[in-house]
Amino acid sequence: MRKLLAVLSLLAFGLAVAQAQKIHRNDFGDQVQWLKGSANANFREIEHRTTDEYSHKGATCETITIEAELGSNAAAPYIHYVYPTPQAPVTSQLSCSVWVRAKQPGIQLRARVVLPKVENRQRPGEMFTTFLDGDFYRFAENWQKLEFKDMSKLLSDKQQSLRIELGREVDFTGAYVDQMILNMYTGPGKTQAWIDELEIGPVPEDRLPTRPAGPQAQNPTDTRPRPGHGGLVEINRDQLKVDGKRFLPRMIRHTDTPLEPW
């Protein structure tokens, strides 16, 4: 009996570890998933679609072609394309990568980090965010894996500069990544890139954030981090779920009988 309990305990522990080590992956199928983000350089989008012309893995990948003008901020021009991710806690185990092929070097992988314990005083009610910089694309016409070497260290290295910027101590407790970003600015002229095999993890839940309903739905890039105010409701395989758990609603047939007591 003790051996059976020990085996069951090990199985339960293994299942808990496996669930805690979820990796979010995307090989980009038949629908574009990168969103046009902010930019400080004028540009126009020439093409944005999925294609079977090139792919690093599988049958398709996503391609983006832009034409940019000279950046208005010569020190750090950027044209962001954003991929909203599941919330990925920033730890020494966090990995974050994507494969890119382009006709010119210079594209850079970035990540947005949310600091839940730090309020954004310029936008009350929102959490403060900062950016971490990853690899640059260096090899034209070849696939290259862009990634971060150590995101936990990169965030720690920013503590002093953030303290100076904000004029107060910065609490990194609960910090998480919620966006992977490609800075598509490589200089004035045309930039074309193919994107494939995105990975980020471990993540507690391999579930992408949903686009907000109502007026914000007209602006899909409005992904400012706000405190949560309710569960995610979805229908999966004819099952109603709230926050991933099965939910059984109780209903009564509507009639003309008044609900008020006599």
Give phi and psi for 237, each to the nearest 5.
55, 50
pLDDT in tens, 182-205: 999 999 999 999 999 999 999 998
| pLDDT of the residue at 220 | 47
Residue 216 lies in a domain: no
Residue 109 lies in a domain: yes
Q: Does 116 have pLDDT greater than 50?
A: yes
Residue 63 lies in a domain: yes
Residue 112 lies in a domain: yes
Q: Cα separation of 257 and 234, whole Å? A: 32
Q: What is the average pLDDT value for the chain, to the nearest integer?
A: 81
Q: Cα separation of 124 and 115, whole Å? A: 14
Residue 16 lies in a domain: no
Sorting pLDDT into bands at 50, 70 and 90, what band is 212?
A: very low
Q: What's the whole-number mean pLDDT along residues 75-90?
A: 94
Q: Does 228 have pLDDT greater than 60?
A: no
Q: Chain-centre distance of CA 221, in angstroms?
A: 12
Q: Looking at the chain, how many residues does it have?
A: 262
Q: Mapping DSSP to helix (H, G, I), strand (E, B) and coil, where does residue 121 land?
A: coil
Contact 63, 50 (CB under 8 A): yes
- In this predicted structure, which of 65-79, 131-145, 162-176, 195-209 has the lowest mean pLDDT? 65-79
Residue 219 lies in a domain: no
Q: What's the whole-number mean pLDDT along residues 145-159?
A: 95
Say how many domains are in the chain.
1
Question: What percent of the chain stands above pLDDT 90?
Answer: 61
Q: Does 60 have pLDDT greater than 60?
A: yes
Q: Does 229 have pLDDT greater than 60?
A: no
Sorting pLDDT into bands at 50, 70 and 90, what band is 248?
A: low
Q: Which of 83, 136, 137 lies closest to 112, judged by CA?
A: 83
C-alpha angle with apex 220: 217 to 225, nearest 5 degrees?
95
Sorting pLDDT into bands at 50, 70 and 90, what band is 226?
A: low
Sorting pLDDT into bands at 50, 70 and 90, what band is 73?
A: low
| pLDDT of the residue at 58 | 79
Q: Cα separation of 120 and 160, whole Å? A: 17
| pLDDT of the residue at 38 | 94
Q: Cα separation of 50 and 100, whole Å? A: 14
Contact 47, 166 (CB under 8 A): no
CATH classification at residue 156: 2.60.120.260
Per-residue DSSP letter, 21: T
Sorting pLDDT into bands at 50, 70 and 90, what band is 127?
A: very high
Residue 10 lies in a domain: no
Q: Measuring CA to CA, how many Å separate 169 from each of 116, 119, 163, 165, 248?
A: 14, 12, 6, 10, 46
Q: Cα separation of 171 and 90, whole Å? A: 13
pLDDT in tens, 160-179: 999 999 999 999 999 999 99
| Structural domain boundaries, residue 133 | 21-207
Q: Does 132 have pLDDT greater than 50?
A: yes
Let me know if 88 is exposed, middle or buried by CB neighbors in 10 A (0-12, 13-18, 19+): buried
| pLDDT of the residue at 107 | 98
Residue 193 lies in a domain: yes
Question: What percent of the chain stands above pLDDT 70?
Answer: 71
